[in-house]
């Protein structure tokens, strides 16, 4: 039996007050969809089956290089983070898995597994960290200031490889089946490093990591245009990422973070290309306007999120074979992280539900006839549909809340943990 940090009775009472309107809205939407030939229950079932992992670090307040403004009741370690993740899952029912970050979440694997089992959670892809120094860690005497897997010094590269191997080992013990490798390696000045030799060194290091993967594991490499490096970045774009996955072989796939591209980039086309190349590994969901802003999914450009899911749904079996991973990767600087993660998971499901509503036969017909107007409108019609009744139905049927943010606020959870967890000290680091 799952031990829940949220009283199930509270959720029941919350839903009881809202059930009548939900049923009416679901029926009304169902009627409208049936006119389009869509069975609302079939959509609801697919939505129910769609889940997205939450990042362990996402339940803490994020920040920028200028400052971090902690909120009350921040989790002080991985076990409190898991508690918060369980709240998100209890109310939203879209996030049964958590993605750990090593060394931040280092703990006894058996204890991790035990706590997750008790909370009804499981572990998604592991994340290694070679973009920071960990001076207190005796396994990491060398600095990553000038890179990690691509560092000019072989000893640093070996240390970074060893850290990834250790992360895989921990993941194996807790039931994970994949590792995501994102590095900050790059340069701030033309001439600081050789662009070609750095890439060669990176590939050599990655081959060593791939060699350490269990047979049923995958590795996801993640590209990013810039930050923390501001002139060049070793794994900067999907083209580079594709070269990496091709070199590393059948266990290697490309991870797409929606905020890691150049301005104006058509991300859904990258998704399409990676599906064709059989190298789409999955997503880090978030939203952004400027750079890697790590805002809540769908908050800046909800149509773009829909278009990404339109590619995924449209790919059909080609995607099924790839079974990409879905994870949220956000920085919650001004909201309660639990609320942002509940909302974001729901927005991701919203985009998925809307994409399921696209009339694909009609779309193909318009496309083959070069009817740009109706091809465009076919997507817009699906996007404009207010699918919230479907999302709420999926939640409530699985034991979640009709209005999970309201239910969360009603639960008093944040106040409770604020009382239990002393405030972390310090805010900004004076980095300008």
Instruction: Please identify, using beta-carbon distances, which residue of 123 and 202 lies nearer to a second copy.
Output: 202
DSSP state letters, 358-399: S-HHHHHHHHHTT-HHHHHHHHHHHHHS--HHHHHHHHHHTT
Per the CB < 8 A criterion, the answer to whether 149 and 184 are in contact is: no
Q: How far is the CB of 328 from a second copy (least distance, A)?
A: 12
Q: How far is the CB of 58 from a second copy (least distance, A)?
A: 9
β-sheet bridge partners, residue 218? 178
Q: How far is the CB of 98 from a second copy (least distance, A)?
A: 15
Compute the CA torsion angle 81, 86, 87, 90 (nearest 10 deg). Answer: 170
DSSP E strands in 173-332: the ranges are 178-181, 186-187, 218-222, 232-233, 252-257, 280-285, 325-328
Instruction: Please identify, using beta-carbon distances, which residue of 242 and 417 lies nearer to a second copy.
Output: 242
Q: How far is the CB of 140 from a second copy (least distance, A)?
A: 11
Alpha carbon distance 341, 55 (integer Å): 9
Instruction: Please identify, using beta-carbon distances, which residue of 172 and 424 lies nearer to a second copy.
Output: 424
Per the CB < 8 A criterion, the answer to whether 22 and 389 are in contact is: yes
Q: How far is the CB of 34 from a second copy (least distance, A)?
A: 12
Q: What is the DSSP letter of 54?
A: E
Per the CB < 8 A criterion, the answer to whether 104 and 137 are in contact is: no
Alpha carbon distance 91, 398 (integer Å): 9
Q: How far is the CB of 384 from a second copy (least distance, A)?
A: 5
Helix and strand counts by DSSP (H, E) for the chain: 16, 11
Q: How far is the CB of 289 from a second copy (least distance, A)?
A: 6
Instruction: Please identify, using beta-carbon distances, which residue of 136 and 215 lies nearer to a second copy.
Output: 136
Instruction: Please identify, using beta-carbon distances, which residue of 156 and 213 lies nearer to a second copy.
Output: 156
Instruction: Please identify, using beta-carbon distances, which residue of 139 and 367 lies nearer to a second copy.
Output: 367
Alpha carbon distance 311, 328 (integer Å): 18
Instruction: Please identify, using beta-carbon distances, which residue of 9 and 135 lies nearer to a second copy.
Output: 135
């Amino acid at each position: 039996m799952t031990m829940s940090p949220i009283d199930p009775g509270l959720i029941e009472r919350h839903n009881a007050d809202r059930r009548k309107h939900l049923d009416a809205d679901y029926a009304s939407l169902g009627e409208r969809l049936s006119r389009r030939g869509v069975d609302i229950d079939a959509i609801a079932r697919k939505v129910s089956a769609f889940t997205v992992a939450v990042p362990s670090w996402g339940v803490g307040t994020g920040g920028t290089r200028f400052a971090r403004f902690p909120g009350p009741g921040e989790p002080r370690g991985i076990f409190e983070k898991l508690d918060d993740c369980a709240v998100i899952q209890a109310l939203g029912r879209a996030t049964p898995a958590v993605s750990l970050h090593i060394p931040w979440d280092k703990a006894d694997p058996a204890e991790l597994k035990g706590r997750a089992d008790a909370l009804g959670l499981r572990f998604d892809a592991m994340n290694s960290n070679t973009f920071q120094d960990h001076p207190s860690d005796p396994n990491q005497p060398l600095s990553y200031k000038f890179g990690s897997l691509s560092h000019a010094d072989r000893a640093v590269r070996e240390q970074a490889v060893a850290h990834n191997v250790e992360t895989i080992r921990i993941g194996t013990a807790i039931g994970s089946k994949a590792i995501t490798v994102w590095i900050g390696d790059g340069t701030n000045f033309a001439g600081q490093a050789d662009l070609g030799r750095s890439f060669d060194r990176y590939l050599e290091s990655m081959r060593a990591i791939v060699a350490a993967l269990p047979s049923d594991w995958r590795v996801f490499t993640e590209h990013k245009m810039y930050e923390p490096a501001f002139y060049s970045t070793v794994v900067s774009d999907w083209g580079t990422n594709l070269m990496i996955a091709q070199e590393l072989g059948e266990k290697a796939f490309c991870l797409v973070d929606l905020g890691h591209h150049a301005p104006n980039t058509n991300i859904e086309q990258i998704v399409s290309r990676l599906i064709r190349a059989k190298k789409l590994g999955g997503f880090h969901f978030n939203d952004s306007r400027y750079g890697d802003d790590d805002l809540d999914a769908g908050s800046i450009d909800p149509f773009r999120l829909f278009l990404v899911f339109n590619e995924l749904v449209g790919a059909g079996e080609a995607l099924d074979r790839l079974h990409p991973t879905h994870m949220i990767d956000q920085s919650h600087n001004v909201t309660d992280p639990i609320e942002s993660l509940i909302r974001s998971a729901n927005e991701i499901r919203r985009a998925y539900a809307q994409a399921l509503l696209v009339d694909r036969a009609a779309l193909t017909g318009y496309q083959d006839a070069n009817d740009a107007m109706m091809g465009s409108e076919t997507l817009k019609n699906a996007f404009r549909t207010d699918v919230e009744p479907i999302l709420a139905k999926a939640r409530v049927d699985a034991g979640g809340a009709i209005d999970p943010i309201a239910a969360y606020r009603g639960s008093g959870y944040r106040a409770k943990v604020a009382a239990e967890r002393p405030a972390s000290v310090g805010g900004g680091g004076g980095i300008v």
